[in-house]
Amino acid sequence: MQLIMKTVICLSLMAFLIFSGCVSWYYSGGYGIPLVCDDVQVGYISGWPVDWHVIDHYKNGEIEWSIYKASGSLTLKSTGEVFEIQESDKIFYSKGNFSFHANLVGNQGSHYILSGNFDPITYEVFVEKAVCPNGPKN
């Protein structure tokens, strides 16, 4: 009975997403981002794989917006500190708005909260706001 209920709930959720114009999908890939504190880049962290959950919204067959949620581990090569990342990217295609918000917590006490914009073609990241409550541990 529980299996039937879970199947019905999953199918209902999928039908809702399809009829509302949303498509949900997952992928894994490499990732890197500059660490910024007080408007100064203090390092660059990267890692593989980072898991992504993507929700695309379509209207009249055209994609309107997407939300990308990232999670995984990244490493700052200079110190070996490992960061857990939780990130949310929002893309509004018609407005050309590509923004991100990342929360990075390191295993050596560093913590960064970054937000800004990115270029979806070159993958260049522009950090516009950075909060480093526990600054870099060099």
45 or 39: which leads in pLDDT: 45
State pTM to two decimals: 0.78
Task: Give the pLDDT mean for 47-69.
Answer: 94
What is the separation of C-alpha 29 from the centre of its chain, rounded to a whole number of angstroms? 11
> Is 12 within a domain?
no
Average pLDDT score over residue span 72-89: 95
12: confidence class by pLDDT, cuts 50, 70, 90: low
Does residue 13 surpass a pLDDT of 60?
no
Report whether 27 contacts 37 (CB < 8 A).
no
Residues 33 and 101 sit within 8 Å (Cβ to Cβ): no
- Which tokens in the block code for residue 15? 């039908």
Domain membership of residue 15 (yes or no) is no
Structural domain range at position 87 = 23-131
How many CA atoms are closer than 13 Å to the CA of 73, on its beta-carbon side? 7
Mean pLDDT, residues 93-102: 90
The verdict on residue 112 lying in a domain is yes
